[in-house]
Chain A
Amino acid sequence: MAINWFRQILFFFVLVMLQVWIFNRIYILGVATPLFYIYFILKLPVNLNRNLTLILSFLMGFFIDMFDYTLGFHMLACSVAGFIRYSIFRLFLPKEMIEFNIPSIRDFGIGLFFKYVISIVLIHHAVFFVVESLSLFDHLRLLYSILGSSVVTLVLIFAAEGLTLSKSRK
């Protein structure tokens, strides 16, 4: 099945706008900000060319950076996430599953999908908050930010995933 480019582009910009207009303004307990846009990188087709995955991830980071006035931070985190994705597939995914098109709970099963999502989200958030906090360093706060934001992002991703799951069952 070829990738539906129009849908992907629409998905991309919807996520950028959601992040810019809603999620960037959420700031729970002074530490946790969800970085929900990573959902785009998670939902890229499994067998998509590695270079293309990298460039799309980088572009996502670029757009978020542009609106956040944080030139470079999201780009760096996204490039790492886009690069690491393939290794995560190799690590968790059985060989015969590589042909699955778009990662989802339905195709992967909840355990596998959870492992996949949590590892990418944790790596992405860790890179982002470590780089961001370089100018004002405080270990404990950094740890809270990474864990808190990861939890919020995970909850949002599984909520979105659950939504599509219940829709496709009907």
Chain B
Amino acid sequence: MRNLINLIVKNIHWLLFILLLFVSGYLIISNNNFQRSKYLTVEQELVGSVYSVSNRITSYVGLKSANDQLIRRLAELEVRNEYLENYIKDLSDPSEFSSIQEDFDTLSPRLVYARVINNSISGSENLITLNKGSNDGIEPDMGVFSPEGVVGIIMSASPHFSVVVPILNSKSNLSCKVRRSNYPGSLKWDGEDSQYAYLEELPRHVIYALGDTIVTSGFSSVFPEGIRVGTVVDSKKQRDDNYVSLKLKLFTNFSALSDVLVVKKTLQEEREGLEDEARDRILKGERYDGN
């Protein structure tokens, strides 16, 4: 008996090593986005505050290019504004006028401006941290876009910070369409180049041309329809020949992302989302019999 105990004490480092391997292995395997978002909001607060210190310093470095981008965008919007104003003046029909007005009025109060405080593009499971959280009305499953194009979807939010799953994440999946022909497909990333992504599961007969713009489809309530995603640069047939996949050059420059907008949900969409979720759970066979 004593020998056995001696043996164990002598080789305790082996036991410890195996224990540590199990702990980390378990964390890796069980580590999907859902669980992280549920249990680690406390950790997220801590990590977020450390990152915001470093961001306060580094944001000065990117200030110039962010400024340039804003000026470019401002010019773009001014042109558009002028065009729309002329268009409105030309319209004699007052009902058309009111529909445009309504669109603008419903979207703009739903936008929350946020700043990127941590961003990775190196791994296959990239995540982005923003400096706004549930105190500013940010909740999971809201869409995030930058002045250039689509960024991703909110995964979780703590009071002051939130984490985004960008389209540069192997688990991301976003419904998009070819602007010209309205055919929908799903946007995936292959983990290689942060400038390119793929629009998959498009039917073979879809009409497209290189250089076409891809925009969000608006099928889910996450994004409004028509936010820019990228341009088509290449296409290839998928395995079974019935589908094509398009290679896109993304509009968003993820390596220099600094300012983004989050789209808040309308009450109507919130209700629909809740109902969908409930329906899913019933379909999956969850029971509510009071036990």
Interface size bracket, A side: 20 to 34
From the candidates B17, B170, B193, name the one contacting A83 in the complex (CB within 8 A). Answer: B17
CB contact between A30 and one of B17, B24, B193 (< 8 Å): that residue: B193
Interface residue SS majority, chain B: helix
A interface SS class: helix
Bound form: Cα–Cα A70–B28 in Å = 8
Find residues 1-58 in chain A having any chain B CB closer than 8 Å to their own CB: 20-21, 24-25, 27, 30, 33, 50-51, 54-55, 58
A50: chain B residues at CB < 8 Å are 13
Residue of A nearest to B190 (CB): A136
- Is B28 a contact partner of A54 (Cβ separation < 8 A)? no
Number of B residues, CB within 8 Å of A:
32
Query: Min CB distance, A67 to chain B, in Å?
Result: 6
| A66 to B129 CA separation, bound complex (whole angstroms) | 13
* Cross-chain contact A70 with B123 (CB below 8 angstroms): yes
- Taken residue by residue from 100 to 125, chain A's Cβ proximity to chain B (1 for < 8 Å, 0 otherwise) reads as 00000000000000000000000000
A residues in contact with B192, CB < 8 Å: 30, 138, 141
Q: Which residue of chain B has its CB nearest to the CB of A20?
A: B50
Q: Is the CB of B20 within 8 A of A79?
A: yes
Residue in B13, B28, B121, B123 whose CB lies within 8 Å of A71: B28
Least Cβ–Cβ distance between B209 and chain A, in angstroms: 29
Task: Specify which chain A residues have a CB less than 8 angstroms from the CB of B122 in the assembled complex.
Answer: 27, 33
**Stretch of A90-98, A127-135, A158-166 that contacts chain B:** A127-135
Contact with A along B1-21 (1 / 0, CB 8 A): 000000000001100110011
For the complex of A and B, 4 pairs with smallest distance between CB atoms: A72-B27, A72-B28, A75-B24, A76-B24
Chain B positions within 8 Å of A, measured between CB atoms, are 12-13, 16-17, 20-21, 23-28, 31, 36, 43, 47, 50-51, 54, 120-125, 127, 163, 170, 190-193
List 6 additional contacts besides A69-B47, A75-B23, A136-B124; criterion CB under 8 Å: A25-B120, A30-B193, A51-B16, A58-B24, A66-B43, A135-B125
